[in-house]
Structure 1
């Protein structure tokens, strides 16, 4: 699929599914509604769809000095379309969700913790031990406790919000400016390791 075919490609990958969400949102919702507890160890950069995936999990622990998270879509002329607007708002509140989406900045582990985007920022060399110990402790709980907790603290119903997000996303991604920004980003190496290291800077230079 080429970026030049973006409007037509929407019929393939951004159509509404039976439950009213697009395929990217459906992935996040599948993770959010798992009967198991889902825990992410974030020791690198999670942007765009990666940040949405992180926010859809039950818990996230981020490595200080190594982890970064951000919604960069605005720099490509679009808004998050995989649940990001909704997951962010439930985690950090509307004001900070708007800041994260519209600033398109990369947030470090400590800031993400302060905002509530992740559970905790922890020293990088302790990340594995902290998360592994938590996972083992949860797995050792008496039968039925995990399921009971997830019933008592269910994921928020985001059906209406996901529909609004999908409408906003599809309304932007069909615009020629968005297709051009995405195409230019790839042409300038946004998908390469070097491009990833300063993705926000690269996209800002193109958007400017």
Structure 2
């Protein structure tokens, strides 16, 4: 791989966007390499959490506009469509954490919106600037911004293309943690390792319950949550954890 760098440690896979000379602009090769890495991580039991990052100057400045000059609208709708690739990222079943700094524009913002948790440097600047060149977000931006921020904030950001800060993103609920440029990746990896300590089956079920449940009316979502609960209840990890908890409680009662 050229566009994506990989490193695994303590159950955490670190994926780094690697086009620093292009501010990590997203092209077809980068998307395909990212999806390949995620497909491999999906079936690798040694990977429990994935952290996606860029560099201090740019998480990603957005889509590589040069690529648009080489395709027709018919190709974008059929043979060269990147929709399945973005769908692979959005539907990745393990926790996906974005560690962002600098430019988080266009496709970079949509990549962040596809993640489950976001740790941002104080230098991070977010924007959906497609309107400035006569386009709209096309990889989930309008829908995910509206679901995260509500109609009116999404309208403001998409129709003006204005930038917003890491502090604003945190206040609006897009970012979990804002920290210094020196610490944002460290904090993201710490968060990933904390999650990786828990039962993989329970973690995946929890993500599915939240992500898919948000797409359902409440009653079906509650039934879906209960189905997942019953599924993980039977796992060896859950049964062992319940036994250990009861043994510790009995020992505490006896010693008291």
Contact residue 93 and residue 208 of structure 2 kept, 8 A: no
Match for residue 35 of structure 1 among 93, 99, 102 = 93
**Structure 2 Cα separation of the partners of residues 25 and 96 of structure 1:** 25
Deviation at 1:123, TM superposition (A): 2.4
Output the TM-score relative to the length of structure 1. Answer: 0.65
Structure 2 vs 1, CA of residues 103 and 140 (structure 1 numbering), >3 Å: closer, same or farther? same
- Summarize the alignment of residues 157-172 of structure 1 with structure 2, pairs less than 5 Å apart: 157=215
Deviation at 1:14, TM superposition (A): 3.0
Match for residue 184 of structure 2 among 98, 105, 127 = 127
Deviation at 1:113, TM superposition (A): 1.0
**Structure 2 Cα separation of the partners of residues 116 and 26 of structure 1:** 27
Q: Does 1:11 align with 2:74?
A: yes
Structure showing the higher strand proportion among its residues: 2
State the partner residue of 1:56.
114
Structure 2 residue ranges without an equivalent (≥5): 1-65, 217-256
Structure showing the higher helix proportion among its residues: 1
Output the TM-score relative to the length of structure 2. Answer: 0.53
**Which deviates more from structure 2 when the two are superposed, residues 69-78 or residues 138-147?**
138-147
State the partner residue of 2:164.
107
**Structure exhibiting the larger radius of gyration computed from Cα positions:** 2
**Structure 2 Cα separation of the partners of residues 55 and 87 of structure 1:** 7
Structure 2 vs 1, CA of residues 2 and 36 (structure 1 numbering), >3 Å: closer, same or farther? closer
| Count of aligned pairs between the two proteins | 150
**Structure 2 Cα separation of the partners of residues 129 and 100 of structure 1:** 30
Deviation at 1:2, TM superposition (A): 7.5
Indicate the SS of the match to 2:99.
Answer: strand
Contact residue 28 and residue 52 of structure 1 kept, 8 A: no
**Structure 1 Cα separation of the partners of residues 203 and 154 of structure 2:** 29
**Structure 2 Cα separation of the partners of residues 143 and 100 of structure 1:** 36
**Structure 1 Cα separation of the partners of residues 81 and 68 of structure 2:** 18
State the partner residue of 2:209.
152
Contact residue 97 and residue 117 of structure 2 kept, 8 A: yes
**Structure 2 Cα separation of the partners of residues 31 and 136 of structure 1:** 21
**Structure 2 Cα separation of the partners of residues 146 and 44 of structure 1:** 30
